[in-house]
Chain A
């Protein structure tokens, strides 16, 4: 059922990593799409560690009747994760929406450098945020919303690193691969026949994450040369464009549940 089929049905959107970069672009794309498709009853819960006023303002500019709520939280803090999400889900219960969507965007590259130089703390930090926290959030979201809502959709923001071993980015590669397959299984486990899961690799976006990699001392030299060439050749992906594509697919339900979609052709990743 396309979420756009009935513009009067209430839609509930949860977006993590919403304060900047791709997360912000996705939230704003939703606002644009909701406005265009005249979706009038939409609530957006934005989650990030830092202030999301920028995101909220841009969303309001696109759609002035959106209800937007900001929730500051650190997904890496496992001690507060459960109570904070319980709170959110109590405030925005499944009964309040026909369609519920989770865009699981927050994450970390993890320490960049050779595997032989990584510390236990660095490995633990990356697995805690990119795996434990994110897998828990997706599974709890599915558990809470899919028994009640007509459609429950989860987008896991993936990366070409999940399918391409990239020197000095082992933590990102490992955790991306783990998340992708978990979300494939999540799609297979759908008991209620209304859970749709998408692994979406947005391409190398022109965000802080890319500029961090371009200038990083410990990034593999070939990978770095590739990242730098993306900038010089103007081949970086506009986060707004890839966000629009993701939002279109989600709202039109234009994907197979469990599918992995790459915005950019993987064969272009040459290093």
Chain B
């Protein structure tokens, strides 16, 4: 099985865990999936962290039977003016139809302002958050969908994962901008799923993870007090969440366009 994996926000946190989840499977799992070849396209801001991740992947696969090739792109996906050229560069050497399985993980995102909606940041602050978390993310998925429409074969399995959140479906105080972005992304991807039976679309809510993002939440001075207990404890290891996601993708056991939460999936 030849697989193409694309991950945005790949250099740390959940993005990194998902990347290693797919790329650093143990041999028995690789055999189970009949993985022969893996081409990985990673995008994140930090060139150094991407390089380090690349080394980890290549090193792991030195002793496996999988032929791995890697392309890393140090890009800022919040810059709308450069978005198209970033996408073009990421895909210019990739022949989509050459793979049996294509997985695109639309993960890059940010928290935005945490605090009461009525004391939201400047207009330009809100604009920047929404441009990164909504406009950019939706556009990347749309471009991917277009690429699939033009280049994919019927025999291919194509999966598009939108990294979602509980906040997409349940409101919590002082997290309004984040919730708005996640809800918008979910509904866009659910709609895409209805339009394109060719792609299996998943809105995956990974659960509360022990990452840099949660450190930001814990340190937010205006986070609603009622939420503190939920975050002031040891949270889910992103690798555990990534593992569940990887298994879900390979098993195909989800309805296209659905919202699936980490806690919905039995171990």
Interface residues of A (CB under 8 A from B): 78, 81-82, 114-118, 120, 123-124, 127-128, 131-132, 135-136, 138-140, 142-143, 146, 162, 165-171, 173-182, 184-186, 188-191, 195, 220, 258
B135 contacts across to A, CB distance below 8 A = 120, 123-124, 127
B195 touches A114 (CB 8 A): yes
What are 12 A-B interface contacts by the 8 Å CB criterion? A116-B195, A128-B127, A135-B126, A146-B118, A165-B194, A173-B190, A174-B191, A178-B180, A181-B168, A181-B183, A189-B174, A195-B118
A176 contacts across to B, CB distance below 8 A = 187
A82 touches B123 (CB 8 A): yes
Q: Is B217 an interface residue (CB 8 A)?
A: no
B142 touches A174 (CB 8 A): no
Instruction: Contacts A169-B191, A175-B184 known; list 13 others, CB within 8 Å.
Output: A116-B145, A123-B142, A124-B135, A128-B127, A135-B130, A135-B177, A143-B119, A165-B187, A165-B194, A173-B187, A176-B187, A185-B179, A189-B173
User: What is the bound-complex CA distance between A1 and B236, given in angstroms?
Assistant: 44
Q: Is B2 an interface residue (CB 8 A)?
A: no
Of the candidates A81, A117, A180, A189, which one forms a contact with B183 in the assembled complex, judged by CB atoms under 8 Å apart? A180
B194 contacts across to A, CB distance below 8 A = 165-167
Chain A minimum-CB-distance residue to B175: A185
Given contact pairs A174-B138, A181-B180, A191 touches B118 in the complex (Cβ within 8 A): yes
User: What is the bound-complex CA distance between A171 and B191, given in angstroms?
Assistant: 9
Given contact pairs A115-B145, A124-B135, A132 touches B176 in the complex (Cβ within 8 A): no
Q: Which of B135, B186, B257 has the most CB of A within 10 A?
A: B135
- Per CB-CB distance, the 6 closest pairs between chain A and chain B, nearest first, are A178-B184, A185-B176, A184-B171, A165-B190, A174-B188, A142-B118
A174 touches B184 (CB 8 A): yes
Q: Is B250 an interface residue (CB 8 A)?
A: no
Binary contact track B86-130/A, C-beta < 8 Å → 1, others 0: 000000000000000000000000000000111110011011001
B123 touches A177 (CB 8 A): no
Binary contact track B162-185/A, C-beta < 8 Å → 1, others 0: 000001100111111101110111
A142 contacts across to B, CB distance below 8 A = 117-118
Chain A minimum-CB-distance residue to B178: A185
User: What is the bound-complex CA distance between A78 and B125, given in angstroms?
Assistant: 12
Chain A minimum-CB-distance residue to B123: A136
Q: Is B80 an interface residue (CB 8 A)?
A: yes
Q: Is B265 an interface residue (CB 8 A)?
A: no
Q: Is B196 an interface residue (CB 8 A)?
A: yes
B180 contacts across to A, CB distance below 8 A = 131, 135, 178-179, 181-182, 185
Chain A minimum-CB-distance residue to B127: A132
B191 contacts across to A, CB distance below 8 A = 115, 165-167, 169-170, 173-174
Shortest Cβ distance from residue B120 to the other chain A in the assembled complex, whole angstroms: 4
B139 touches A162 (CB 8 A): no
User: What is the bound-complex CA distance between A137 and B241, given in angstroms?
Assistant: 37
Given contact pairs A168-B195, A177-B187, A181-B183, A131 touches B134 in the complex (Cβ within 8 A): yes
User: What is the bound-complex CA distance between A91 and B178, given in angstroms?
Assistant: 33
Total residues of chain B contacting the partner, CB 8 A:
51
Shortest Cβ distance from residue A164 to the other chain B in the assembled complex, whole angstroms: 9
Q: Which of A124, A138, A177 has the most CB of B within 10 A?
A: A177
A179 contacts across to B, CB distance below 8 A = 180
Shortest Cβ distance from residue B179 to the other chain A in the assembled complex, whole angstroms: 5
B131 touches A124 (CB 8 A): yes
User: What is the bound-complex CA distance between A7 and B118, given in angstroms?
Assistant: 28
B56 contacts across to A, CB distance below 8 A = none
B190 contacts across to A, CB distance below 8 A = 165, 173
A124 contacts across to B, CB distance below 8 A = 80, 131, 135
Of the candidates B117, B120, B139, which one forms a contact with A120 in the assembled complex, judged by CB atoms under 8 Å apart? B139
B123 contacts across to A, CB distance below 8 A = 78, 81-82, 132, 136
B117 contacts across to A, CB distance below 8 A = 135, 138-139, 142, 182, 185-186, 189
Binary contact track B61-94/A, C-beta < 8 Å → 1, others 0: 0000000000000000000100110000000000
Q: Is B34 an interface residue (CB 8 A)?
A: no
B142 touches A182 (CB 8 A): no
Q: Is B58 an interface residue (CB 8 A)?
A: no
B142 touches A115 (CB 8 A): yes
B131 contacts across to A, CB distance below 8 A = 124, 127
Q: Which of A82, A124, A166 has the most CB of B within 10 A?
A: A124
A116 touches B142 (CB 8 A): yes
A170 touches B130 (CB 8 A): no
User: What is the bound-complex CA distance between A44 and B194, given in angstroms?
Assistant: 42
